[in-house]
């Protein structure tokens, strides 16, 4: 009884350590791997949305040279989000300075624009 309890505690401790290890990104691996840029690799989880994103928004919003707020770049998106999602949606559809009308996604619906903006403006949780 006593011994059984000790083992139970030990296993829980080990499981917690392994869980923490997974959260921290795989203990000791990828020492020499180049740091992912985030914007270049981020893709919406939804397949249909990923398709639209890859064919349009991504050309500029994952390209630092385009002057667009990069996908997942909280610093770039925070002041834009402050304008309100409705304004961002309006700017996506009608264009805004360097941002072309419809973001070159002529088949995108309003709902898809909204989802794409939310995706790009969200800070990726993977990594740290």
Q: Which residues bind ligand HEC (CB under 6 A)?
A: 56-57, 59-61, 66-69, 80, 83, 87-88, 91-92, 96-100, 103-105, 108, 113, 116-117
CB of 29 to ligand HEC, least distance (A): 34
d(CA 58, CA 69): 11
Comparison of 25 and 54: residue with beta carbon closer to ligand HEC: 54
In a 13 Å sphere around the CA of 65, the CA atoms on its Cβ side amount to 1
CA dist 5 and 86 (Å) reads: 57
Nearer to ligand HEC, 30 or 46 (CB): 46
> Looking at beta carbons only, is 1 or 75 nearer to ligand HEC?
75
**Do 77 and 120 meet the contact criterion of CB atoms below 8 Å apart?**
yes
């Amino acid at each position: 009884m006593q011994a059984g309890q000790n083992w139970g505690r030990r296993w829980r401790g080990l499981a917690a350590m392994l869980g923490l290890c997974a959260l921290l990104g795989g203990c000791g691996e990828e020492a020499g791997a180049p740091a992912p840029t985030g914007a270049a690799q981020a893709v919406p989880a939804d397949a249909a949305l990923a398709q639209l994103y890859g064919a349009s928004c991504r050309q500029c919003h994952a390209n630092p040279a385009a002057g667009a707020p990069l996908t997942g770049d909280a610093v770039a998106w925070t002041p834009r989000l402050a304008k309100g999602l409705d304004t961002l949606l309006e700017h996506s559809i009608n264009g805004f300075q360097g941002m072309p009308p419809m973001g070159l996604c002529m088949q995108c619906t309003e709902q898809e624009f909204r989802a794409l903006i939310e995706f790009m403006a969200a800070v990726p949780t993977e990594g740290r």
